[in-house]
Amino acid sequence: MRSYYSEKVSKFLNSSDNEILGQLLMNHSFSNDLEQKRAWLEQIRILKGALVDFPEATLFFEFAIPRMGKRVDNILILNGIIYLLEFKIFAKSYETYAIEQVVDYALDLKNFHSESHNKTIIPILISTMAPEINTQILFADDGISNCIKANATTLKQVLTDLNTNYRKESFDVNNWLNSSYKPTPTIVEAAQALYANHSVEDISRHGAEAINLTLTKNAVEKIIKDSKNNKQKSICFITGIPGAGKTLAGLDIATQSMNYEKDEHACFLSGNGPLVKVLREALIRNKSELENISKKKTEPQVYAFIQNIHHFRDEYFEDTSAPIEKVVIFDEAQRAWNREQASKFMNKKSKAKDFNYSEPEFLISVMDRHQDWCVIICLIGEGQEINTGEAGLDEWFKTLKEKYPDWNVYCSKNANPPENLNVFTQSDLHLSVSLRSFKSALLSDFVQNVMDCKPNEARIVSQDLCEHYPILITRNLARAKNWVRSKARGSERMGLLAHSNAIRLKPEGIFVKSEIDCTNWFLNKKTDVRSSCALEDCATEFDVQGLELDWTIVAWDANLRFDKGWKYLKFSGNRWQNINNDVDKKYLLNSYRVLLTRARQGMVIFIPEGDKNDETRLPEFYDNLFKYLGECGLQVLPD
């Protein structure tokens, strides 16, 4: 249901307040909410006075914004313009959070609602008891205006002035209302919505993307059900192209598999420390705010739901009982450690001297302790290895073949399962449609061509890509910061990224060795100097893998240079050293790939000028790269 109430303004004006309120309450899940009733009655009263001259307009109450799990108070469609009206009843000021909220609604419609892509949208904040304020209206390139401010008394004049000065060609409201809505939530938004019992269909895009994701989810749910009914131990591998929604599928399966009343537990495990911290904190903050309870009270359940895979491993090395969870989801399972890396790490722990397993072997052994049934779901990414000792998919298959041949193995043919296993291939266990970049699905193709030293192919892709997803290059960091600040509206996030060994960016004021608190960096408000939006603290590939920002600055140092091909270096002590190991070269290239694919809407790549008086930052270290990226089709950020 898109809205709780929708009518022509003429009918709205002729209906009684109680009649309108009754329809709103009929669709409201908390019908006894006295505060909400009072707010709606005040809203109805104000709107009846403000809309008396616009009987042909169409009015919606509580219009759904599914990606954000919220509803905008009113949408008014008047003479080809979409007005978003957000009321703050009895508010005496125009708070920043409220301005961001209504601008976010406008951005959501523009980006994800197909019939709003080419429409003019004007967000209006009505703080009913705030002072009168005159706001100059300014439109961005996409047709969204800045937030207009009004109070209960001035709303009528504000709408009259806007209607006089800004009219567009009228459009069919029913076609607009029934057009497709294709949201692409960030992983944080998705986790919050799923944990609050929204379905994956509510927050995912529709069409091929949603069908692909839903089929995968349904296939896994059937595997879990059959394993439980048949008392069978099963492992399921979900593969997919980058950005296809593997983590989204995993979070959805984890939430759907929890049933505390039946003492059935599921958890989402990840070895990505920053991702775990950010998702946990986001869920705790969101649940605390929605339910008006302390963060302390929400922590235990959230911590049990999302766990660090290394902590899970450590706990069950010392505790030999079966875990409480019957269903576990391992995110980025290809990055689980091999035996050498896991043993090396664990043997440093005083109580783990005898650890001699790979992580896949040990984790399967832990779940195998269950006497009846259990299910392991492994989410497998591609081209994401950025650390030494990551085992890959082969280690999982090797362990199953040698130690647990009685387990059922479910995967698609894309996983290339070996023979001599109880393999059941299902095509629905591969996610083949990208969800990540709603501006353009061409980003991963462009980055791949850049990494593969194919400038001609990259340039061809960039012609379509950069029309919707701007990527610019600059030698001026201050200019780059000004650009992303000008682009980020509402609560959109921006951030400064660089490689973890980009040590010679220090003269530019970028300190990659200065550790950030990733929860503050990703979640705190723009006004907080610890926030990514302050553009003061820099995040590395280890901080941002698996997470996203709307707009990014990628600062590129001389550790990955270009001279008729890539040159791989590492800064150690006071000089650059060549990297000769092929695995380390791959990790470096993958790290830059991660940095170049964190932005949802656009980025600027900053390449320093260098300094001819500093042998560690000579201009020739950077100039060829700047030239190469230009050959790949990237334009220079103008002054």
From CA 592, how far away is CA 498, in angstroms rounded?
8
From CA 397, how far away is CA 374, in angstroms rounded?
18
Q: What is the mean pLDDT of the chain?
A: 89
3-class DSSP assignment, residue 478 = helix
Is the pLDDT higher at 269 or at 212? 269
For residue 516, what is the DSSP state?
Answer: -
C-alpha distance from residue 305 to each of 208, 255, 276, 584 (Å): 30, 8, 10, 34
From CA 527, how far away is CA 83, in angstroms rounded?
28
Signed CA dihedral, 462, 109, 189, 149: sign only: positive
- Tell me the DSSP string of 535-569: S-SEE-HHHHTT--EEEEEEE--TTEEESSSEEEE
Per-residue pLDDT reduced to its tens digit, 589-618: 999 999 999 998 999 999 999 999 999 999
Q: Give the angle subtended at the CA of 530 by the CAs of 104 and 195, to the nearest 5°.
A: 50
Asked whether the predicted pLDDT for residue 343 surpasses 80, the reply is yes
From CA 213, how far away is CA 217, in angstroms rounded?
6
Tokens of 398: 């090797």
**Mean pLDDT to the nearest integer, 37-47:** 95
pLDDT at position 20 is: 95
C-alpha distance from residue 378 to each of 238, 251, 255, 275, 393 (Å): 6, 12, 16, 17, 9
Q: Is 537 exposed, middle or buried (0-12, 13-18, 19+ CB in 10 A)?
A: buried
pTM exceeds cut of 0.85: no
Tokens of 367: 């779940």
| Cβ neighbours for 612, distance < 8 A, ≥ 6 positions apart | 618, 619
Asked whether the predicted pLDDT for residue 205 surpasses 60, the reply is no
**Mean pLDDT to the nearest integer, 67-96:** 92
R_g of the chain computed on alpha carbons:
27
Grade residue 317 by pLDDT with cuts at 50, 70 and 90.
confident
